[in-house]
Amino acid sequence: MHKKINSKPTLTRRLVLIGGSILLLYPLLRFITHRVPRKPVTIKVTEPLKQDKFLVKDDFFIFAENERVWAVSRKCTHLGCRLNYKENEDILECPCHQSRFANTGLVINGPSKKQLKTYKVEKNTDPPYFIVSI
Amino acid sequence: MNWTTCLERLKKWPASQLIYDTKWGSWSLICLYISLISGIIVGLQYDLSEPFYSTAALDVLIPFGGYFRSLHFYSSQLFFLFAVIHYIVVFNKTESYSHNRRIMLVLTLPTILLLLFTGYVLRDDSTGSSAGIIAENILLAVPAVGAILNGLMFSITEHGMQRVYLHHVISFDLLLLILAWDHLRKNPVKVSHYPLLILLVLSLSIFIAAPIDPEELGRFYITGPWFFLGLQELLRYLPPFVAGVLIPGSFIMVLLMLSRSHRWFTRLLSFTCIWLLIYTLLSIIALITHG
């Protein structure tokens, strides 16, 4: 006589399956989401400012006014596109959604709502003229 | 006049008869074959550590590089275009499909879009890199799981093109194969039956170059890929999660439910049409007002 095999998973089997899946998923999620801390980067700028006023680099702008020098990130705080400098208006504009910022990083108009990151700049009289820590 | 009568009348027009008689699914598959082969060829010269340089080098330095890049680009675009037409034309026939089979086939469409999108990003010119960064930030805006999703999908800021490349050449292709496998098995296509289409796609790429943005300073407007234009415009007015996830997600959800046997079929169909109409309008606005 054949015994009827119960093909429906029992509650214990289900719990083991779910628990096992979570146990497998946990290391996978931890692995994927872990962020290796970024090394602090210092960038040496060997070019002088254009018209003693500004300089555009890949990741930041350098501005100078009177004796003050500062660097502002080129990453738009809306969706991360790379900003450009509109020299005639002295503003920074995003090419993706046209958010506008003052050269200090403050928002002039959106869609961006947050101001830009600013970086520490060390000024020298000889090359490298600027050392920017980002 | 109901939906069936309307469709029957439409079918009687000579032009639409031609559309109904064309084997769009087979055309789509042929273009996929060309896209895969040209993709392998292009991939031999693509350098993940120098994405823009290697893409530009394909166009200007490598013999026939521009041709193969163009072939890969246009065959992929046609693959998507024909797949969409195929879906519309055979929509009525899908009534006989099981629910799961229909869902899997509808999901092939966003998967193809993801393949096209990652291709755009991989060229890393101003359009490509901006589109990638925007996609990354949209995913990061997803509550609770945004960082995990981004870690899985793009993570361009942290890992450059690594994940985008991985998904373009392996993951999304594999997903497409899984989703369409049963359909392809049941509807085999003989490549030798389509010499004209193959010749047309091969010749088209001789005359039309694939787009690439030259590096230029002071570029104040970037136009995204054509299928991304409406979304780009929406992101101007709405928060990234709403514009980038909820609105496109609602369209895909409705598309998954869309079947003539569904009790809300007319409402679902109206939603799909209105959604597409608004998206097209937004794309036109994006092109006209900012392009």
Q: What is the pLDDT of residues B182-235, one digit of tens each?
A: 999 988 888 888 899 999 999 999 999 998 887 766 667 778 888 888 998 899
Range among A97-101, A122-126, B95-99, B110-114 rated most confident: B110-114
Q: Which among A30, A89, A92, A97 is the top mutation candidate for probing chain B, defined by the most B β-carbons within 10 Å of its own β-carbon?
A: A97
Q: Which residues in chain A have their CB less than 8 angstroms from residue B218's CB?
A: 84-86
Q: Is residue B40 scored above 90 in pLDDT?
A: yes
Cα(B244)–Cα(B135) distance, integer angstroms: 8
pLDDT band, residue A2 (cuts 50/70/90): low
Out of A29, A32, A96, closest to residue B222 by CB: A96
In this structure, the dihedral spanned by the alpha carbons of residues B131, A59, A94 and B50, taken in order and rounded to 10 degrees, is: -30
Average pLDDT over residues B38-62: 91
To the nearest whole angstrom, how far is the Cα of B221 from the nearest Cα of chain A? 4
Cα(B86)–Cα(B24) distance, integer angstroms: 5
* Residue predicted with more confidence, A9 or B64: B64
pLDDT at B95: 81
For tokens 């796609």, the residue is B201
Q: Which fold has domain B22-212?
A: Cytochrome Bc1 Complex; Chain C (1.20.810)
Residue A80 and residue B134: Cβ atoms within 8 Å? yes
To the nearest whole angstrom, how far is the Cα of B130 from the nearest Cα of chain A? 5
pLDDT at A129: 79
pTM of the model: 0.82
Q: Is residue A34 scored above 90 in pLDDT?
A: no
Average pLDDT over residues A40-52: 80
Q: Is residue B82 scored above 90 in pLDDT?
A: yes
Q: Which residue of B has its CA nearest to A36?
A: B158
Q: Which among A58, A77, A96 is the top mutation candidate for probing chain B, defined by the most B β-carbons within 10 Å of its own β-carbon?
A: A96
Segments making up each domain of chain B, as ranges:
22-212, 223-291
For tokens 């700028």, the residue is A45
* Residue predicted with more confidence, B118 or A129: B118
Cα(B123)–Cα(B42) distance, integer angstroms: 11
Q: Which residues in chain A have their CB less than 8 angstroms from residue B126's CB?
A: 82, 95
Residue A84 and residue B138: Cβ atoms within 8 Å? no
pLDDT at B279: 93
Domain A42-133: which CATH number of 1.25.10.10, 2.60.120.620, 3.90.1150.10, 2.102.10.10 = 2.102.10.10
pLDDT at B107: 94
Identity (one letter) of the amino acid at A12? T
* Residue predicted with more confidence, B275 or B1: B275
Give the distance, in angstroms, between the CA of residue B33 and the centroid of all CA atoms in the same chain.
Answer: 16
pLDDT band, residue B144 (cuts 50/70/90): confident
Q: Which residue of A has its CA nearest to B128?
A: A81
Tell me the backbone φ, ψ of residue B6, rounded to 5 degrees: -60, -45
Over the stretch A105-114, which tens digit does the pLDDT of each residue have? 899 987 888 9
To the nearest whole angstrom, how far is the Cα of A86 from the nearest Cα of chain B? 7
Q: Is residue A1 scored above 70 in pLDDT?
A: no
B90/A contact by beta carbon, under 8 A: no
Give the distance, in angstroms, between the CA of residue B134 and the centroid of all CA atoms in the same chain.
Answer: 17
pLDDT at B158: 85
Cα B158 to Cα A27, A72, B61, B150, B154, distances in angstroms: 20, 20, 30, 10, 9
pLDDT at B74: 95
The DSSP result for B79-140, as a single string, is: HHHHHHHHHHHTGGGGGGS-HHHHHHHHHHHHHHHHHHHHHHHHT-SHHHHHHHHHHHHHHH
pLDDT at A100: 92
pLDDT band, residue A72 (cuts 50/70/90): very high
* Residue predicted with more confidence, B269 or B291: B269
Cα(B11)–Cα(A127) distance, integer angstroms: 74
Q: Is residue A4 scored above 60 in pLDDT?
A: no
pLDDT at B46: 93
Do residues A56 and A71 make contact, with C-beta atoms less than 8 angstroms apart?
Answer: no
Over the stretch B3-31, which tens digit does the pLDDT of each residue have? 666 666 766 666 676 677 778 899 999 99
Percent of the residues in chain B that have a pLDDT greater than 70, as a whole number: 91
Going by DSSP bridges, is the β-strand pair A54-56/A60-65 parallel, antiparallel, or unpaired? antiparallel
Q: Which residues in chain A have their CB less than 8 angstroms from residue B152's CB?
A: 32
